[in-house]
Chain A
Amino acid sequence: MKRSITIGAIIASSLGAAAFAHSGATGVVLERMNGMSAMKKVMGELAPMMRGEVPYDVAAAQKGAATIMAHAGGGMVKLFPEEAIPATSYAMPALWERWDDFSDLADFLESQAFGLAMAIPNGLTAPQPPSPPHDMEAMNNMSDMVGMTDAVAQPSQDLTVAQLMGVEPTANAHTSATVLPEERESSSLDYNMMAAPAAFERVSQTCAACHSQFRRGS
């Protein structure tokens, strides 16, 4: 009896969720909407944790990063076969017209989520480097590494006149999904030295870059 109630509740809740979120989507559209919804759920759960509003939970955060990885990259692009876009879909034609940009962002999301998984054990603040550099050369190399400084700095603080006026890119621009793929250098990021919230924000930047180009509405 108890079991049948549980099963009934599971069926009812999944039906309810499907009806509410997807308003009639079926097939591959439903599949990708489910994938997007799973990632949305992760972002919604992790955001208050990354803001320090709820206790930091490494296991839950790792599970979330894994969920995003599973739904990004190849797992995402295979759900976007080229076909007439049904009315239930939020996808824009540009997604197929600029397929390389889309699949590139999907891959970028996967690597960002992997980076998040690496940064999660660091918690809310970036760890200090284990040992100070021994010679001047190492010191100079350090200061050239943008990823190092930007792991601790708030990106929006203390921008220069040239950065504010758009003449020069901001410190983290060349590792961001919002620049063109050819200008992007993900290799200069050291997620082991990054605070988890900074890695989490990079994931959100990639979501935003994709949504702004390929999703209808807002």
Chain B
Amino acid sequence: MRLLVVPLILGAIFAAAGIFIVARWPIMEPVTLGMMEGDAKRGAYLARSAGCVACHTDVKMGGAAMAGGAPLDTPFGRFVPPNLTPDPVHGIGDWTLDQFAVAVRQGVRPDGKAYYPAFTYEFYNQFTDQDMADLWTAFRTVPPVSVPTARHDLNFPFNLRWGLKLWRARYMTQSETTPVMAQSDAWNRGQQLVNGASHCGACHTKRGLFGGLDANAKLEGNTNLPGGSKAPSISTEDLLSRGWTVANMAYALRTGITPDGDVLGGSMAEAIAQGTGMLTEGDREAIATYLLTPSGQISVGLPTNAAASSMDSMAGMAGMEGMAGMESGGN
């Protein structure tokens, strides 16, 4: 009997020590943006392209802007997008720009704990300092809403937030948005949106047992979305075989009409109405250009003025400036 008790106690001690160490494990990299000036218009455009507004506003229920979104029912439980208005108690009104930047780019809360990847911060890690200042300025323009957010309701063991540190070490991905000099401006802008802000892969890339994105099946479709919706493959090969062109895809990203005349429903209808439909025509064409260019090829066949219109509009992300000088986004 005693032979059994001793290893059990030892095991429990080791487990407790392990949890203690993981829970104390710092995952935050300090950021010092201080009082960096932001541009509200560029930030608002980025907040729209990145889905901040769509996810954190419960549009269907007529909820106030950014005051908390519709719950997401997933295999791990229910996630509730929190109130991000400048309310100091129930929103993020008492945060600093630095804390905001750490939250968005690193997925770490002001208290040093990790966010669940239902918050798609994995796609935002290439946002520049200027992007963060712009976003922060735009967020501060929203009227504060003094309503608390419901808590997530997650199944064991996913409700143990310290476990996310292990998740991050094993599954967290980095977005690939480094400009490719040989490609067109439209392609580079498209890459920035598809792999970064607009986070297409959050739905169109399948996830493993623990919710990690499957890097070997990038954009190849996901049959298991919250709410029972399905995301088809949007790999270049599949899109080209289904009759997509830059023109009809840019159109679909505004109207939902596919080449065969279907009108997209599911969660893509919301992604269009609350996201891509509000982008500039140039950005929709950029997304299509990137998605429809086979890897290893140079993007061609863009309708005239597409590149021009994505450059002239404020276009949303400071990465554009980085691109002109061929630097990767400073992080």
Contact = CB atoms under 8 A, between A and B. Distances in A.
A51 B48 contact: no
A42 B267 CA distance: 24
Interface size of A as a range: 35 or more
B59 A210 contact: no
A212 B266 contact: yes
A43 interface: yes
A207 B281 contact: no
B73 interface: no
B66 A166 contact: yes
A141 interface: no
Contacts of B138: 161, 164-165
Contacts of A205: 255-256, 273
Contacts of B139: 165
Nearest to B262: A40
Contacts of B273: 178, 205, 208
Contact of A208 (B141, B261, B264): B264
Interface size of B as a range: 35 or more
Nearest to B251: A51
A204 B265 contact: no
Interface in B242-257: 247-248, 251, 254-257
B261 A156 contact: no
Contact of B47 (A165, A207, A217): A165
B114 interface: no
Given A208-B273, A218-B232, A40 B266 contact: no
B281 A154 contact: yes
Interface in A144-199: 154-157, 159, 161-167, 170, 178, 180, 183
Contacts of B44: 161, 164-165
A146 B60 CA distance: 23
If over half of A's interface residues share one DSSP class (helix, strand or loop), that class is named, otherwise mixed; here it is: helix
Contacts of A167: 65, 141-143
A165 B259 contact: no
B134 to A, nearest CB: 11
B29 interface: no
A155 B277 contact: yes
Interface of A: 39-45, 47-48, 51, 53, 154-157, 159, 161-167, 170, 178, 180, 183, 201, 204-205, 207-213, 215-218
Interface stretch (B89-97, B164-172, B223-231, B321-329): B223-231
Contacts of A42: 261
Given A156-B277, A205-B256, 9 more contacts: A53-B247, A156-B278, A157-B280, A157-B281, A165-B44, A165-B48, A166-B274, A215-B265, A218-B268
14 contacts: A47-B257, A47-B259, A51-B248, A155-B254, A156-B277, A161-B40, A165-B139, A205-B255, A205-B273, A212-B269, A218-B231, A218-B266, A218-B267, A218-B268
A142 to B, nearest CB: 26
Contacts of A201: 254-255
Contacts of A216: 228
Contacts of B229: 217-218
Contacts of A183: 62
A43 B256 CA distance: 11
A156 B280 contact: yes
B41 interface: yes
